[in-house]
Amino acid sequence: MPDLASLPIILLPCNTLEPRRNGKHMNQETQTASFDADNLYLEESFTDRTVGTLRRMTPVDKHGNPDASRSVLYIGQTQVMTAMGALPLSFDIDADSLEVAIAGFSDGAKQAFEQTMKELEEMRREQASSIVVPGAGGGMPGAGKIQL
């Protein structure tokens, strides 16, 4: 496997949706989806059509009015082109305005990429350590050996 750090990186626009972090999508017992009326956001997208997309998530109440008790969220999205294909990245940006979110996009993308590479490397290590080699020991005693 090639060294992950040596892979070429190309940033592409991305419009993938990120799953919610703090709620349920679907009731596993009844297999029904329920909409959380207490956790609504008005979503606006901004893109430079080159590097990525910024989403501004403005909290609203169930009538669509701004909810000043919750903070506006900014989420950056981009894609990294790897030898295996496009890898979508989605990351929170700590910002209180669109201007600050734009300025923080690059650092957020870099941190998301580094975290993703660490997770991929860890998954690769776990996968490599689970490979069973015949005759290398492990498993149940006597298993796989023919005894007469």
Mean pLDDT calculated for residue range 85-89: 92
In this prediction, residue 82 carries a pLDDT of 85
In this prediction, residue 130 carries a pLDDT of 76
Give, in order, the Cα–Cα distances in Å from 97 to each of 18, 100, 110, 128, 148. Answer: 21, 5, 20, 44, 77
In this prediction, residue 26 carries a pLDDT of 54
Q: In what helix (H) or strand (E) does residue 127 lie, and over which residues does it extend?
A: helix 98-129
What is the chain's mean pLDDT, rounded? 80
Rounded Cα distance between 26 and 46, Å, is: 29
In this prediction, residue 21 carries a pLDDT of 45
The model's pTM is 0.66
Which pLDDT tens digit goes with each residue over 21-57?
445 555 566 667 788 999 999 999 999 999 999 999 9
Could you say which DSSP state residue 4 is in?
G
In this prediction, residue 97 carries a pLDDT of 97
